[in-house]
Amino acid sequence: MTPTPASALALEDWHLGPHVPQSHRFWLRALGRTLLFRAGWRFEGQMPNVPRFVVIVAPHTSNWDFPIGLAAKWALGFDAHWWGKHTLFVPPVGWFMRANGGIPVDRKNSQNAVERTIEAFRSNERFALALAPEGTRKKVTAWRSGFWHVAKGANVPICCVALDFRRKVVRLGPTTMPVEDDPAAGIARIRTYYADVAGYDPSQQT
């Protein structure tokens, strides 16, 4: 599946499909929309209206990606979990991270995180996982494959979300299945969906 053109939507005109995992904290949704509106951001595209899927958010080039991504999560009312470096989950910051869907992961044992997340998909009627495939804001030549192995193992689609700082648009989609047997081939295909997206610091993109 390849990207299709879509008009950028005002924040108040955007909503999730009924099957998507959702948070019902309406005050948090209002806060997220207020923050994005004041910063001049809009949404474009659509998330899949399914109960279980993986979201990848790219490009990741700056510390600004996290607050923009979190504000978008709040604004959408999207109930998504995400992996974070385990050292970030020390109280009191760790309480905030967990309350907003964070799952601590020790990168030295990332395979265990993949297996536990696949099991979470299988045991929950609704579950979404959001990841930054680069794994760091520094320039990288290859994406981490954790998101691919989770989606493949759980047989769920991958929604490709882009933070386009040039246009100030959070692009939702396209959505695709991990059909390739070779993770490298599938990831290479998915990276082409971000060819026209500019992160906060384009010099850190490959």
Query: What pLDDT, on a 0 to 100 scale, did the predictor assign at position 119?
Result: 93
Query: What pLDDT, on a 0 to 100 scale, did the predictor assign at position 3?
Result: 43
pLDDT < 70: residue spans in the chain: 1-13, 107-111
Strands (E), the chain: 8-9, 42-45, 52-58, 81-85, 102-105, 127-131, 158-164, 169-176
| CA–CA distance, 99 with 91 (Å, rounded to integer) | 12
Query: What pLDDT, on a 0 to 100 scale, did the predictor assign at position 180?
Result: 96
Bridge partners of residue 184, in order along the sequence: none
Bridge partners of residue 170, in order along the sequence: 43, 163
Query: What pLDDT, on a 0 to 100 scale, did the predictor assign at position 9?
Result: 56
**Which domains does the chain carry?**
27-195 (3.40.50)
The structure's pTM equals 0.87
Query: What pLDDT, on a 0 to 100 scale, did the predictor assign at position 15?
Result: 80
Cα-based angle 192, 44, 126 (whole degrees, multiple of 5): 85
Q: What are phi and psi of 23, to 5 degrees?
A: -95, 145
| CA–CA distance, 121 with 142 (Å, rounded to integer) | 26
Query: What pLDDT, on a 0 to 100 scale, did the predictor assign at position 6?
Result: 46
Taking only the tens place, the pLDDT of each residue in 77-121 is 999 998 777 777 778 877 777 877 777 777 666 668 899 999 999
CA distances from 184 to 6, 67, 95, 178 (A): 28, 30, 35, 11
